[in-house]
Structure 1
């Protein structure tokens, strides 16, 4: 689970993407994804319960992307902690 500082960093980056201060690969791919989702929305709304199905799909896609961002941010944080621990362990071994 991400701590408050990590959540704030992700929120800041998402805000920068949302205001186009950052236009990285993720932003470009998400713009494309939303344009495809819009096309799917147009087609699927003609079906019975199509709008409900589309909203469910959109929520699932967005939830998956957000979970992936949080998970990989957390992996990065854990990696940094492991690297720091290994560094200090090595320094302690050299000093001893």
Structure 2
């Protein structure tokens, strides 16, 4: 299992808070399937948005990162769309 650290930027005018973190966490669990290997999620409000740690079962770190990002893309499309975005780069 690998820990994948990500930060989502809050691109809305909504004040930051734990509600956004809870929304993202719920969207991740709602979008996760057996092939994602998701074991656990930590989501916390940070000044720029939401800090995430996704614990993912995978054969190596690169695969874990790919699975985490694909899951996050699906979760953002299905959940609090338009509010959060991955930073570019």
TM over 0.5: no
Higher relative contact order (CA 8 A, sep 6+): 2
* Structure-2-length-normalised TM-score: 0.33
* Structure-1-length-normalised TM-score: 0.32
State which structure, 1 or 2, has the greater radius of gyration over its C-alpha atoms: 1
Q: Larger strand proportion, structure 1 or 2?
A: 2
